Amino acid sequence: MAFMTANVRAVVSPMLNQISTRRYPLTPFAAYCALLTVLSVLACAFVLPNLHGPIALLLFFVALNVAAEQFPIEIYGNTRVSVSVVLEMAIIILFGAPGITLAVIASTGTAFYLRKFDPRALLNIPVYIVVYNAGAFAYSSVAPQDLGGFSWAVTGAVTLAALTTFAVNAVILGVGLRLRDGASMLSFWEQHSWMLPHYFSFAFIGLALALSYFALGTVGIFAFLTPAVMMRLAMKQYVDKTRDNVLKLEDQNKELAAANVNIRRMSDELSDSYDGTLEALVNALDARDQETKGHSLRVSKYMMDIAREIGVVEGSREWLDMQRGSLLHDVGKIGVSDSILLKPGKLTDDEWKLMRLHPEIGFKMLHQVKFLEGPAEIILAHHERWDGKGYPRGLAQDEIPLGARIFPVVDTFDAMTSDRPYRQALSTQDAMNEILKYSGTQFDPRVVEAFLDIYSKWVHMWAELHADEHEVVMSLRAA
């Protein structure tokens, strides 16, 4: 009887609350519960007068059933399984509908008493009277009049009784949940259909118990119940152990989830710290060379616009490498003397050789730092050309990292459209024409195409990015 017991309580408990507090009018669900009660009363009035067989034996089975009902096995939530189904099927076989009705009243009434007359347990009585009377009727409709011993007819009758009991139980609960919550009956069936094989196995064990009584009398009952009790203990130990393992796994999963959240938070904080350190370094570099103040930040902004247009995924490792590489592209100039870096006139050939070392200097500075390995490769190649005539390694086309192929386009655009002490900024149109002119030689044609697609956007944000530049350049000219 304990199959789906908790579900019955879930259905009837709100109904009892409504009745006891009288806060709600009569509902279809309340009418449904009342109908079940009326059906159970009619079933009792019809079958109990026909009670037959040895009363002492019946009371013994009823007592065993009541005891079994007090020790159900809870399976992962609100579903309970009990070996009382074995006893209930034996009672149906031996005593028919009158016997099982008495057993149901005794077991559910005892539960009502043990729960200190909780009215929510009261409606279990009519539900199970209807359920098991349906099963008893199904059994008696096909079972032979004289059991005597095993036969295929008895097997068919037990099968029909088990199926009927399970189906009526499922329908009553499913309809109740449908009326109360609007829940799907199909969904309810899918959640509980796994119990059907257990129900059948317990029903046939009940048949074996009844046959043991016919063969050996009372001794047969005790001889048979011993393995049944051991089966119940083994089942409970197995389920308890499994439940403990599941709960441990759930706790460990919660701990892992919490640890993952902390790791993500720490990773974000570390990433922010990295980025803050990089920006501080870039600002320090810009402060050294006032002619190009803000150049690194603008180039990084332009570079990420093109990267997004090409299809680089934001937040990916490639994206972060490009972002950091563009910010730090001139970090190698730390190794270039001020006399060369800040020289107002034209550089000599020897000075140019020293200036061209800055990509390698930057690479050597950064490539041993784990999170800057990717940016270091971009820094090393940011003066390479599409046609292979760049430096320091003379790479060509796809040999050049994508970030280092984007960089020359954005660097050229920013340099041409920025003021310098020795010249005023060129127009964005002039810069675009220059980039188009050298597409396929100095610049990657694919990058140039992406540049053209977002050119109008850059023109609109150009003034904002250069807002403070004019003041700086004019002060340098005056100096």
Work out whether the CA dihedral 86, 92, 97, 101 comes out positive or negative. Answer: negative
Q: Is the pLDDT of residue 33 over 70?
A: yes
pLDDT, position 100? 92
Report if residue 51 sits inside a domain: yes
Report if residue 226 sits inside a domain: no
pLDDT, position 18? 39
Q: Which residue has the tokens 């005794």?
A: 106
pLDDT, position 122? 75
- Distance between CA 169 and CA 130 in Å, rounded? 9
Average pLDDT over residues 252-268: 76
Condensed to tens digits (0 to 9), the pLDDT of residues 416-449 reads: 887 665 567 778 888 888 889 999 999 999 999 9
Report if residue 337 sits inside a domain: yes
Confidence category of residue 414, pLDDT binned at 50, 70, 90: confident
Q: pTM here?
A: 0.47
pLDDT, position 281? 66
Give the DSSP per-residue string, 60-79. HHHHHHHHHHTS-EEETTTE
- Cα–Cα distances in angstroms (integers) from residue 175 to residues 19, 96, 171, 227, 443, in the given order: 19, 27, 6, 37, 72
Report if residue 276 sits inside a domain: no
More confident residue, 466 or 260: 260
Amino acid residing at 156? G
Task: Domain of residue 190: give its range.
Answer: 5-216
Long-range contacts of 48-57 (CB under 8 A, 24+ apart): 48/98, 48/101, 48/102, 49/98, 50/96, 50/97, 50/98, 51/95, 51/98, 51/99, 51/102, 52/95, 52/96, 52/98, 53/94, 53/95, 53/99, 57/94, 57/213, 57/218
Q: Are strands 79-81 and 73-75 parallel, antiparallel or unpaired?
A: antiparallel
More confident residue, 468 or 108: 108
Point out the domain boundary residue: 169, 191, 216: 216
- Distance between CA 409 and CA 260 in Å, rounded? 40
Confidence category of residue 222, pLDDT binned at 50, 70, 90: confident
Condensed to tens digits (0 to 9), the pLDDT of residues 384-395 reads: 999 999 889 999
**Backbone Cα Rg of the chain:** 42
- Distance between CA 325 and CA 459 in Å, rounded? 24
Point out the domain boundary residue: 168, 186, 216: 216
pLDDT, position 77? 53
Among 185-199, 243-257, 425-439, which range has the highest average pLDDT?
Answer: 425-439
Q: What is the CATH number of the domain that holds 391?
A: 1.10.3210.10
Report if residue 260 sits inside a domain: no
Report if residue 261 sits inside a domain: no
Point out the domain boundary residue: 161, 191, 216: 216
Residues 13, 120, single domain; the answer is yes
Report if residue 423 sits inside a domain: yes
pLDDT, position 21? 39
Nearest CA-CA partner of 320 in 390, 253, 370, 368: 370
- Distance between CA 107 and CA 88 in Å, rounded? 11
Confidence category of residue 463, pLDDT binned at 50, 70, 90: low
Q: What is the CATH number of the domain that holds 201?
A: 1.10.1760.20
Residues 363, 473, single domain; the answer is yes
Number of domains in the chain: 2
Q: Which residue has the tokens 């096909």?
A: 142
**What DSSP state is assigned to residue 423?**
B
Average pLDDT over residues 336-348: 76
Residues 296, 210, single domain; the answer is no
- Distance between CA 126 and CA 473 in Å, rounded? 93
Residues 89, 200, single domain; the answer is yes
Neighbours of 349 (CB within 10 A): 6
Residues 206, 296, single domain; the answer is no
Dig out the tokens for 202 from the structure.
Answer: 């317990």
Q: Is the pLDDT of residue 137 over 90?
A: yes
Residues 161, 305, single domain; the answer is no
Amino acid residing at 27? T
Q: Is the pLDDT of residue 468 over 70?
A: no
Note the residue count of the chain.
479
Residues 206, 327, single domain; the answer is no
Nearest CA-CA partner of 166 in 196, 136, 145: 196
Report if residue 18 sits inside a domain: yes
Q: Is the pLDDT of residue 274 over 80?
A: no
Q: What is the mean pLDDT of the chain?
A: 78
Residues 194, 303, single domain; the answer is no
- Distance between CA 150 and CA 211 in Å, rounded? 7
Cross-strand pairs, 356: none
